[in-house]
């Protein structure tokens, strides 16, 4: 098989996968109670964040949150593509459940910590507690309610990743702030 034949086969498989995915979403996912939880996980945290965010620091806090979103999404897409885990319920057929988690829940949780704890030590303590809660409470709960499926992954692997995301994003945000203050 030459390169163009392989590419055509990949495209045909994607077309089949897309049809199966949309069919599954329409028949088994949309409007289920798990689907409504996904909708709530998008709308409620956004409303709460907007009400509670320090509007004077909104740009700084949002930059931190966008960095968390970038890292979370990259790692989540990589894990999904490597078939380490799966998201059986999606809000929209072509957008996996990671959307509410990576774009809303995790960034808002970490933005709240970032807003409350400017110095490193309390930030690290809070970040570690959040990492514990996400890895050992939120993820098992998501598995229990069948919104998250572990394939070749264990909760313990997530714990240090959550901590590293918060540390790296705080370092980058602090660097950006210090550069801005130099100008």
pLDDT tens column, 70-122: 999 999 989 988 999 988 877 777 776 677 788 899 999 999 999 999 999 99
Same domain for 16 and 63, yes or no, is: no
Residue-number span of the structural domain to which 146 is assigned: 31-182
**List of residues 6+ apart from 153 with CB closer than 8 A:** 79, 84, 85
Q: What percent of the chain has pLDDT over 90?
A: 69
Which tokens hold the place of 77? Answer: 């897409």
Say if residue 146 is in the same domain as residue 172.
yes
81 and 123 inside one domain = yes
Residues 17 and 87 in one domain: no
Q: How high is the pLDDT of residue 108? A: 96
Give the whole-angstrom CA distance, residue 29 versus residue 14. 20
d(Cα 148, Cα 139) in Å, to the nearest integer?
Answer: 7
User: How many structural domains comprise the chain?
Assistant: 2
| 8 and 79 assigned to the same domain | no
Question: 166 and 87, same structural domain?
Answer: yes
Indicate the average pLDDT of the chain: 92
Same domain, 16 and 35: no
Answer yes or no: do 95 and 112 share one domain.
Answer: yes
- Please state, in angstroms and rounded to a whole number, the distance separating the CA atoms of residues 156 and 144: 17
What's the confidence (pLDDT) of residue 147?
85
Asked whether the predicted pLDDT for residue 176 surpasses 90, the reply is yes
Same domain, 97 and 134: yes
Give dist(CA 150, CA 122) in Å, integer. 32
Give me the pLDDT at residue 88, please: 83
Residues 22 and 91 in one domain: no
């Amino acid at each position: 098989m030459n390169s163009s034949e392989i590419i055509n086969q990949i495209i045909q498989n994607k077309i089949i996968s897309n049809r199966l995915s949309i069919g599954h979403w329409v028949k088994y996912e949309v409007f289920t109670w798990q689907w409504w939880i996904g909708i709530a996980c998008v709308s409620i945290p956004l409303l709460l964040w907007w009400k509670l965010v320090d509007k004077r620091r909104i740009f700084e806090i949002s930059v931190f949150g966008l960095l968390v979103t970038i890292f979370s999404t990259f790692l989540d897409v990589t894990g999904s593509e490597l078939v380490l885990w799966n998201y059986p319920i999606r809000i929209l057929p072509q957008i996996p459940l990671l959307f509410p988690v990576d774009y809303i829940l995790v960034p808002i949780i970490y933005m709240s910590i970032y807003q409350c704890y400017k110095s490193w030590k309390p930030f690290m303590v809070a970040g570690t507690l959040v990492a514990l809660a996400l890895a050992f409470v939120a993820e098992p709960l998501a598995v229990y309610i069948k919104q998250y499926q572990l394939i070749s992954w264990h909760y313990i692997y997530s714990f240090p990743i959550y901590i590293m995301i918060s540390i790296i994003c705080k370092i980058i945000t602090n660097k950006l702030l210090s550069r801005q203050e130099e100008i």
